[in-house]
Every structure is written in structure tokens, then in C-alpha cells.
Structure 1
Amino acid sequence: MLTLEQIFPPFALRIACGPVALTVLRDDDLPELVELVQDGVQDPGLPMPFLRDWHEEPFAPGAPDGFPTASLGWWWKQRATFAPDEWRLALVVRRDGVLVGMQDVHAAEFPHRRTVETGSWLGRRHHGQGTGTLMRRLVVGFAFDGLGAERCESGYIVGNHASAAVSRKVGYVENGRKRIVQHTRAGTFAVDEQRVTVTPAGFVRPQGEVTVDGADVVRRFLGLDLSGEAEATAKPTRNIADK
């Protein structure tokens, strides 16, 4: 019988360093993920970090409106629309086996642009333990070493000093600001987003051994192994073990 990993190769991906491991979101993770969101995501006093305040929707399991129905649709859509020309990996972050947050990585026209976009969040009670920095370093390292990316981009709402600190620790540098619109229960607001970018030359790697399982099958699924150039740029570095 076929395995889920054979049917959808990204399920085979696992990136780990020390107590932190990243894997692609599965349906079995959803109950724990929903409970994590219910326990709180946003730090008081910091700007709302998302385009929409999905994490503050009324809790209504089993109902067509509210949380988690809309969020489930978003997570499932990422899997259903995954394709070589545009893809998004929703990675579950676990620390010592406990689900603590999510790390997303998204790319469009990746074989040509060699650029990915990252976004992430942690459950509020898991802030301040270094997990946010490590999980970002792991996904950026995978993009550079496992996929052959040449640039990783991200952004944060101006005034979110916690997100700014994580970006600096990973090696991101400021890359201009843009005006974006946030949709909340209190209304629709325009805010400034600070854009940041990092290249392999500026990337601050995690301390300790990093292991990556499944990068080879993900590359094939994305069609990257079909190009000699892509294969050459996707060779692992000394602290990445591609099994």
C-alpha cells in the first residue's frame, strides 16, 4: 500500500536542530494546533501581526463560521494548490515534541526567481525561549541548502520589536517599507510593513547539528532535479544532513 509520503512527498520533510523540529502540517496535528491558537498567539502591546485577525475569531468548532473553520480551509488549500510554479509549505513547529507554532515558506516561479517568502507565529506562552529564531533559521537554511534559493524575504508590522529582533538574529536586513491593509473585527486599517531580506552570505546559521530528511523528494516534486543548475545549487552544507 502506498504511504502518504509517496502520495504527497512534502509530508516526508523533517527539519530539526536540538529540541526544535519542523514538519509539514498533517490533519492529525489540527486538534493540537487549534488548542494552541485558543491559548493565545499575540503578545499584548505589540501590533497585530497578520493581515486578518483570524486568531481572534469566535471559537466555534463544528460551525460554518468562526474559528477554526476558516483557518482549516486556508491550511487545506495550501496542500490542494501545491504546484511547482507556486507552492506554500505550512510547517508545524514542535519543541521537545510539543506543538508550539507554525513556520510558513512560500514561493512563486521559484525555478526562475530563486526567492522564497517566510512567515511564522508562536503560541504566546512559548515566546521568549529562542524558538522563533531557531525555527526561522531552520527554514531559511533549508531554502538555501535544500532548494537552492538565492534570497529569502519576510516582513513585520512596524513597531513589532519581537519580530524585528528575530529577523536581525537570522541575518535579515531592511529592504524598504510598504503600506498594507489589515482586516480586524474593529475595522480595516492601513499600517506600515517593514520588508526584510537575507541572502546566503548574510545568513546566520543555527548552532548545533541540523538534520533534514526528505529534501530530495521535495526537490523532485518541485521539478528542481530536472535542471542540472538547480541540483548543483541545492547541495547541502556541512551542517545539513539530507537523508
Structure 2
Amino acid sequence: MTSASDLAALAALLADETRAAMCLALLDGRAWTAGELAAHARVAPSTATEHLHRLVAGGLLVERRQGRHRYVQLADPSVAELLEDLASRITSRPAAPSGLRAATASAALRRGRTCYDHLAGQLGVAVTDAMTSRGLLEQSGGFALTPAGLAWLTGTLGLAPESLRPGKRPLARGCLDWTERRQHLAGLAGARVCATFLSRGWMERIGSGRAVRLTPHGKAQVRDLLGLDSPDVH
């Protein structure tokens, strides 16, 4: 049974700005080296290593070795959900003055980003709304993929039925978007949609972070498949 000290220990892992910055960076779903995370958080490599040891020991991150290199990533989708849920509870406040590069990066994240392995931001919410309006998702009594939605994924998108069999992870769940304050599609179905968009060249990453955008080909595809043709997906 979870104790107060256990909960406090978990909260303490994220109560440091450097560790929080590392966890937010890892929300892109990819594995990063300690050196990359040190540069991102603007700390010395030795400091980054110390923080990463704590995050791994606390169960938020896992370590993977490949040759001489050590990579870390979020332990599983539930950690990403925890981070996104916490971020959504932060009260919006006027942004502090920043340079053009920071403002541009922030705007890109709002337009579209990955939340671990599924779509978020305006793009994620727009795709979710389009799937709901077409009867592929049901949001009125929870958050579930409809029979038509399952047929759309396996037929129209051509996903293998076995790739959509829920196990520890639900087939579909709502994830409260921290910038849009609305639900976007998460779970196994959300991960498969995001992976399909990336693998088919419908969507591309912007730089090395979490921001993504539709390609010209992708805009045409989502227009044909979901009727999406709004500023939210540009």
C-alpha cells in the first residue's frame, strides 16, 4: 500500500528543475544520452549523471546500453501520462519575456507535438475531434474506440489487428492536453496513429525536440481520410 513517504519521494523526483527539464525532454518518446540531456538542461555532464541515477532509481526512467553509449528514456507510457497530467494542472500565466527562438519553439509545440508516442497540441486535438465527429471515437461515456473506428484503423490505415490488442495498456484513452486543455487520443490506438503518420511521411519532426508538423502530403491525406482542413493542422 502506498504510504505518504512513498508519495513524497516520488514528488521529490520532479521537484528539481533540472530533473523536470530532463523528463519533459524525454516526452518525445525517444532515448537520449546523458550528454544530450546535460546540454538540454544546461548542466555539467557529472551533474546530469547524478540526476539521472535518481530518476532511474525512482522508476521514472530506464537505462539502455548500446555499445559504449548509455541511453535513458521514460520507463513506460504511464510515466508520460503522469507528466502530461501534472503539466495540465499548472495554472496558465503570462509567458516571461523570451527571445524569438524560444517563442518560435513554444508556438511549434502548441501547434503539434508528440506526447511520448501519441499526438498532442492543436494537431492532436484536431485529429481526435475529427475521429469523434466521424463516429470513430466515442467520448460521451468515457473514451473508447468504436467498431467503426477499429475497422478504420485496420482497413483504411491498414494496421495489423494484432497490433491493436490491448494488454496492460488500454486501446484508447483520453489524455488532457496541457496547452489546449482538451482531450486528445492516447493509448494503443493513439500510438499507432502517430507512428503511422511518421512512418508514411505524413508528419515530420521539427528539429530535435517534440514539435511535429504535417507535410504537404500529410495535409492531403488527413483531408481525405478525416476531412481535416483547418488552421489547426497547418
What TM-score do the two structures reach when normalised by structure 2? Answer: 0.25
Over alpha carbons, which structure has the higher Rg? Answer: 2
As a proportion of its length, which structure holds more strand? Answer: 1
**Structure with the bigger percentage of helix:** 2
More contact order relative to length (CA 8 Å, sep ≥ 6): 1
Task: State TM-score, norm by structure 1.
Answer: 0.24
